[in-house]
Structure 1
Amino acid sequence: MKQTTRRCAVVAGAAAAAFGIAVGPASAVPSTTWTVTPTGTYTATNSGNIVLTAAIPMTCTTSGASGTMSNATGNPAQVASINAINFGTAASPCTSILGNVTTVAVTPWTIMATDYDAATGVTKGYVGNIKANVTAGACKFTVTGKASGTYTNSTGILAVNSVAGELVVASSPAPSNCGSVITTATKPTFKGNYAVKSSSGAIPKIVGSNP
């Protein structure tokens, strides 16, 4: 019986090798040390439209953010804060089928890093601690949660690309004058690219490692 069991184990191992199946853990060790160059203040400007969708798309042609970047440890780790972010301006407001859209962010938001690909220089993570009060026409509601995204060292682009379920419409305060269009069951998404530059004008670099 023992010989039969050993034979089965050998056969199974050979089959796994033949099909390229990894026996045991194959994933890379997640980064726990994050080095940001340079640290300090930064600004970010939209590259293309920024779109918040909560049952209906709300599009901004102008958006900007500012905050600080710093080295960090842990996973996830906070590599930056968003101390101010605006959506639209008086001259170029965000728009929707309900009318012009005003979004007032309640900051600070956070930029959290979770994974780093040294081959591409791309950090995966999310924008966290999001809270924003949105007015679209007469409809008013509050969005909270997080939004997945990536940061690419070669371009300095923070690409926000949330998936349904990461952001929610808050129940307190409850949506008002929104009818059945936007309710607490609505699952908003936040998508758009931001070009990031340090106070010196350089493109910041984020590198994750596991010493």
Structure 2
Amino acid sequence: MEHQMKIKHAAIGTAALALAGVAVAGPALATGSAYTVAVGGSSAAGTHTITAASSGTLSFAVPTLTMGCSSAAVPASPVSTVASGTGITDLASINKINFSGCTGPGGSLTVTTVGSWKLHGTGAATSGATDVVAGHVDNITATVSNAVCRFTVTGKADGSFDEAAQKLTVAETGFTGNLKVSNVTGCLGQVVNGQNANFSGVFNVASADGAINVS
């Protein structure tokens, strides 16, 4: 059962923006602003299981090629969590994303994620239930492969979380350099080491432990 998620921005810290994307092991973790988060009516410190499923297709691109996946999901296992409490900066830890129907150079692609992706936010949030909180996801690894192409994507991707719709929108566009391609093998010359990358998709997020509300 999906539950409403609301996040309150606390006037703590000055950290950087955060919430959304794709990345690989590399730079040190970025941080976000601090928030107060309550799950199931309690803001006691704790972690609570979440799942997510994409809404529509997902797009990944480098300047020379656009690729995509038909769907993606954050499964129940391994467990991914949202944090409750006060002064929360790591809003969520996403420990796996399963991508399906991905295509690119050489046909079907397998996308494998590694590590715990940390969801950070610094966008404005109030006690209401309709905030759209901006941010990014850090500390993510994605390896893409098939018989003729293999590469890794590293960095972060900007996005936002819509409290009312319970949607995480990933929108890393413009080839900013937040995402980088490395470890390229093959790929028919269509993917090259050092290229900047874009990533976009929308995920419906659900909390397993009840509504996540402002304390």
> What TM-score results when the alignment is normalised by the length of structure 1?
0.71
Do residues 121 (structure 1) and 134 (structure 2) align? Answer: no
* Structure 2 unpaired stretches of 5+: 1-10, 15-32, 41-46
Residue in structure 1 matched with residue 190 of structure 2 by the alignment: 181
Percent sequence identity is 31
Cα displacement (A) at 1:73 = 2.3
Residue in structure 1 matched with residue 73 of structure 2 by the alignment: 64
Alignment of 1:54-133 (within 5 A): 54=62, 55-66=64-75, 67-71=80-84, 73=87, 77-88=89-100, 93-96=101-104, 98-118=106-126, 120-133=130-143
Structure 2 CA distance for aligned equivalents of residues 58 and 204 of structure 1: 35
> Between Structure 1 and Structure 2, which shows a larger proportion of helix residues?
1
Mean Cα displacement is larger for which, 61-70 or 177-186? 177-186
Displaced runs of 4 or more, over 6 A: none
1:61-87 Cα shifts (integer Å, max 9, x gaps)? 12101410003526xx21000011111
Q: 1:138 aligns with which of 143, 148, 163?
A: 148
* Structure 1 unpaired stretches of 5+: 1-27
Structure 2 CA distance for aligned equivalents of residues 155 and 137 of structure 1: 39
Contact between 2:142 and 2:153, CA under 8 Å: does it hold in 1? yes
Cα 1:139–1:94 shift into 2, 3 Å:
same
Residue in structure 2 matched with residue 45 of structure 1 by the alignment: 53
Aligned-partner residue type, residue 110 of structure 1: K
Q: 1:192 aligns with which of 189, 201, 208?
A: 201
Q: Which structure is larger by alpha-carbon Rg, 1 or 2?
A: 1
Structure 1 CA distance for aligned equivalents of residues 58 and 37 of structure 2: 28
Aligned-partner residue type, residue 183 of structure 1: V
Aligned-partner residue type, residue 197 of structure 1: A
Do residues 32 (structure 1) and 34 (structure 2) align? Answer: yes
Cα displacement (A) at 1:179 = 4.6
**How large is the RMSD of aligned CA atoms in angstroms?**
2.4
Contact between 1:155 and 1:203, CA under 8 Å: does it hold in 2? no
Residue in structure 1 matched with residue 29 of structure 2 by the alignment: none
Q: 2:159 aligns with which of 149, 160, 185?
A: 149
Cα displacement (A) at 1:185 = 2.6
Mean Cα displacement is larger for which, 48-57 or 157-166? 48-57
Cα 1:181–1:69 shift into 2, 3 Å:
same
Structure 2 CA distance for aligned equivalents of residues 167 and 82 of structure 1: 18
